[in-house]
């Protein structure tokens, strides 16, 4: 649980870094810089732990699909959503991945779905509807349907990635290094093809480095350790509700985004659903832990 808290604390700051960087860079440029920094950071950790020989020899069959899923597909979807939507909206919708993860754990990990899980889902996704319509809940014309769709699809990719990782026999750091080793040349190839190498200033570069180090590096390692050691997936995934209020405040203070009333109401619903799920009694936890 402490690993999860550490990851969530870092994730509270990255929405601001995303919007800061995307003001001057395209999503593929931010993604390429951040992925390179994260790969370098994880490489140092792998070498320090003496796991590089194992990383070079085994596990590449798993890394081929995992690396294309994360970092490539997930972050390209996420950054594209942040590029189109206000940071507060993209951030709030993205946080529903915790609920998506708990729901998908039913068919993938054979965990039990309860009535509380269903009720939490209805409440949380009602919050997504409020945010997507910016409070005009009876109007199906979203302010930016493409942006909302990208944000929701990113939650699906993120949840699936971590659930599939539960069956990954690679050591967490080795898995992350291999995944980024596979994804990095794909990202840089896409960037060179779309935009080429461009200089956008030290502030943008610094934000990209921060995203790579904290969001994709340190936070990845902490969250992977949390998912691999927790007894029930929903138990750690719901720690995410600690982060949105801090993210909103930083977006307002640093970026200058006015906080929309629809975002606040939607977040209350999202966090209410996640809180309901977190508080439910889970008798299967003991059985899982004993097993």
Q: How far apart are CA 272 and CA 251, in angstroms?
A: 22
Longest CA span, the chain: 58
- Predicted pLDDT at 207: 85
Each residue's pLDDT tens digit, 70-104? 899 999 999 999 999 999 888 888 878 878 887 88
Nearest partner of 85 among 29, 136, 25, 15, judged by Cα:
15
Residue 32 tokens read as: 């390429």
What pLDDT does residue 212 have?
92
> For residue 177, what pLDDT band results from cuts at 50, 70 and 90?
very high
Q: What is the pLDDT of residues 204-263, one digit of tens each?
A: 888 889 999 988 888 877 877 787 776 666 567 667 667 788 888 889 998 999 988 988
Q: pLDDT tier at 284 (50, 70, 90 boundaries)? A: very low
CA separation for the pair 96, 90 (Å, rounded) = 11
DSSP-assigned letter for residue 162: H
As a whole number, the mean pLDDT across the chain is: 84
Question: Residue 289 pLDDT more than 70?
Answer: no
Which residue, 157, 180, 173, is CA-closest to 37? 180
pLDDT at 132: 82
Residue 216 is predicted with a pLDDT of 80
């Amino acid at each position: 649980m402490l690993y999860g808290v550490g990851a969530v604390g870092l994730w509270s700051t990255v929405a601001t870094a995303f919007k800061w960087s995307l003001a001057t860079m395209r999503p593929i440029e931010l993604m390429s810089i951040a992925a390179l920094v994260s790969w370098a950071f994880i490489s140092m950790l792998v070498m320090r732990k003496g796991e590089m020989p194992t990383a070079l020899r085994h596990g590449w069959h798993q890394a081929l699909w995992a690396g294309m899923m994360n970092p490539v597909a997930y972050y390209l979807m996420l950054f594209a959503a942040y590029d189109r939507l206000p940071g507060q909206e993209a951030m709030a919708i993205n946080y529903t991945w915790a609920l998506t993860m708990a729901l998908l754990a039913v068919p993938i990990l054979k965990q039990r779905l309860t009535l509380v899980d269903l009720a939490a889902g209805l409440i949380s996704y009602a919050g997504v509807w409020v945010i997507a319509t910016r409070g005009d809940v009876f109007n199906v014309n979203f302010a930016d349907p493409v942006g909302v769709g990208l944000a929701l699809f990113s939650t699906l990719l993120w949840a699936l990635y971590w659930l599939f990782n539960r069956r990954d026999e690679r050591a967490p750091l080795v898995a992350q290094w291999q995944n980024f080793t596979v994804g990095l040349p794909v990202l840089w190839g896409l960037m060179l093809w779309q935009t080429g190498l461009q200089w956008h200033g030290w502030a943008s570069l610094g934000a990209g480095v921060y995203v790579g180090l904290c969001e994709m590096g340190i936070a990845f390692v902490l969250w992977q350790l949390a998912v691999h050691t927790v007894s029930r997936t929903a138990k750690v995934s719901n720690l995410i509700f600690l982060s949105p209020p801090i993210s909103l405040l930083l977006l307002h203070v640093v970026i200058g985004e006015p906080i929309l009333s629809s975002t606040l109401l939607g977040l209350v619903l999202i966090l209410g659903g996640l809180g309901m799920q977190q508080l439910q009694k889970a008798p299967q936890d003991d059985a899982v832990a004993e097993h």
